[in-house]
Structure 1
């Protein structure tokens, strides 16, 4: 039988000795921790950002993980019951995350590409759809994505054989590991390293004079104006340096985490690998890439859409000076009074 090279599994050890921790308990604990992390990341994000396809998909991931947690908890409590003519046992605590692992594993690259196109259309203002119409389109697009991937997973004969290989009495939990996640992470980390290698001298120079300021009650990175700054033209290398600093200023620990995973070749089950922090990391990467590719069309006076809940990209485009920020803060304080 042909086995896909990305179909890695995690069988539990069968060596003699003390009995291992119940796999169903492990799966339930991991699902609970992931759901809590997803909700926490959503709770601390900025709420004044424009809706995007990736943002809507993040909401769907939180909802699906919450449903999985509720379902697994229900099965773990009752252990053996029938619902709608289907008998659920402890075995399904492993089976349901396996099915979801296959679904999550196939979604990384499609969501990455669709989100990139969505950001490009929004940033370039190509789309003329109203705010309500755009949100409605995102909602039905995400539903269609989930229907398509679940139909593929449940209808694929090779996946069915892979799921049915496990004996019902073993209660072991082998999980699918997505090769898409590995290559996508390798691609983004590689791009970041290439960009840093290209602009490392500018990054070091700009970082030495970088200041963290408060602008309109928002923490911002203050980039001192270069002597050769042109108020009508954006230098691509200078912009690339600022985008890299802003990105790493928020996601540097996550970048190190991805490098460790790649270097140690850690295999993470797909139902854990697809999470909200990973999706927001992709979101920031795509926004920075679109801003840089579109830099020849941008002007420093152009309003930058707030599409990132964690990174304030607009500070890469506005030519701040200290006097400008101080006057703005004083004006805002007077207006507040």
Structure 2
């Protein structure tokens, strides 16, 4: 009886030892697959008439790299042990490729944020006047250069290389990198949003109570009517800030509490999950709102083509600046009562 129990325990241990790598690989496959579905859903929900920008092209490239990671994980998990171009691939390479992807994604937050800032600064200043094809080609090469340079830095960094080589091929554990760049970026954006909301919270409450959903140029927008007893001028930065906050939080409200929870609990999310298309569009809307606020003195110029957000309709913040009689020319669809 004792021998039978010992043999049964040994069989369970061997079975668990054999199936553990498969379970880890299946979990990784499901996570990457879910992320790809989220990327596709986000890209499908964006507005089709958006202004082409660097962030648009980078989001598409990120979805493509996620798809490549899923293909590599699927092929290696299915074949398990094979030779391609003289290189032997085993299930160890699933962890290796995922680690390289995590390190690369983790180093991309600051460069993407910086390049997007430069792109919008040039667009708002109208320094560059490129054609549509020239702009597309320019963004394509900028995105390609960014991926290649960050990947080269990742593979050439001594600390990163040491972390990659420290993982033994026979180990069942796969330690993935969590980015500190995303933490400080999230902390900065949340802090700015909190300061902005505290600064003009009374204006935000007034706007929410008075705003209406209306139709403007065959498009549904939020309309903030003028108040005859307002103590602020039309060009007031404080009023514009409150409008930008209402539009931004009205679209990305679930993301803000999520970022606060992640920051407070200091959740360590692997970089290959944390860098995703919804997160990039959230950052993109934040950058656009910042750009519109700093360039509020240009918003009355109808001939200037400003960047368009794929998700947030910032037009409702600027209609009162260019059309003073919208209440007479457009019939409201409904009234929001808070």
Q: Would the aligned equivalents of 2:81 and 2:91 in 1 still touch at CA under 8 Å?
A: yes
Q: Would the aligned equivalents of 1:300 and 1:317 in 2 still touch at CA under 8 Å?
A: no
Q: Secondary structure at the match of 2:215?
A: strand
Matched with 1:102 is 103
Q: Would the aligned equivalents of 1:234 and 1:300 in 2 still touch at CA under 8 Å?
A: no
Query: Paired residues, what number?
Result: 312
Tell me, which stretches of 5 or more residues in structure 1 are unaligned? 1-17, 330-337
- 1:75-114 equivalences in 2 (<5 Å): 75-114=76-115
2-structure distance, mates of 1:169, 1:256: 40
Matched with 1:29 is 30
Q: Secondary structure at the match of 2:187?
A: helix
Q: Report deviation, 1:198.
A: 0.1
So what's the TM-score if we normalise by structure 1? 0.87
Cα 1:301–1:324 change in 2 (3 A) is farther
Cα deviation code 1:75-104 (max 9, x no counterpart): 111111111111111111111111011101
So what's the TM-score if we normalise by structure 2? 0.87
2-structure distance, mates of 1:171, 1:181: 28
Q: Would the aligned equivalents of 2:215 and 2:331 in 1 still touch at CA under 8 Å?
A: no
2-structure distance, mates of 1:85, 1:314: 57
Q: Secondary structure at the match of 1:317?
A: helix
Matched with 2:190 is 189
Q: Would the aligned equivalents of 2:221 and 2:315 in 1 still touch at CA under 8 Å?
A: no
Q: Secondary structure at the match of 1:213?
A: strand
1-structure distance, mates of 2:305, 2:256: 25
2-structure distance, mates of 1:324, 1:225: 15
2-structure distance, mates of 1:229, 1:67: 55
Matched with 2:65 is 64
Q: Secondary structure at the match of 1:196?
A: helix
2-structure distance, mates of 1:313, 1:227: 23
Aligned-residue RMSD, C-alpha? 2.2
Which is higher, the Rg of structure 1 or of structure 2?
Answer: 2
2-structure distance, mates of 1:302, 1:259: 39
Matched with 2:331 is 326
2-structure distance, mates of 1:222, 1:295: 18
2-structure distance, mates of 1:257, 1:218: 30
Does 1:51 pair with 2:56? no
- 1:143-154 equivalences in 2 (<5 Å): 143-154=144-155
Q: Report deviation, 1:238.
A: 0.7
- 1:199-278 equivalences in 2 (<5 Å): 199-227=200-228, 234-278=235-279
Tell me, which stretches of 5 or more residues in structure 2 are unaligned? 1-15, 334-338
2-structure distance, mates of 1:210, 1:46: 22
Q: Report deviation, 1:303.
A: 5.3
Q: Report deviation, 1:217.
A: 4.0
2-structure distance, mates of 1:201, 1:43: 36
2-structure distance, mates of 1:161, 1:286: 35
Range that drifts further, 166-175 or 220-229: 220-229
Matched with 1:9 is none
**Which structure has the highest helix share of the two?**
2
2-structure distance, mates of 1:180, 1:260: 17
Q: Would the aligned equivalents of 1:234 and 1:298 in 2 still touch at CA under 8 Å?
A: no
Cα deviation code 1:232-256 (max 9, x no counterpart): 9521111111001000010001111
Q: Secondary structure at the match of 2:200?
A: helix
Cα deviation code 1:256-278 (max 9, x no counterpart): 11111111111100011100000
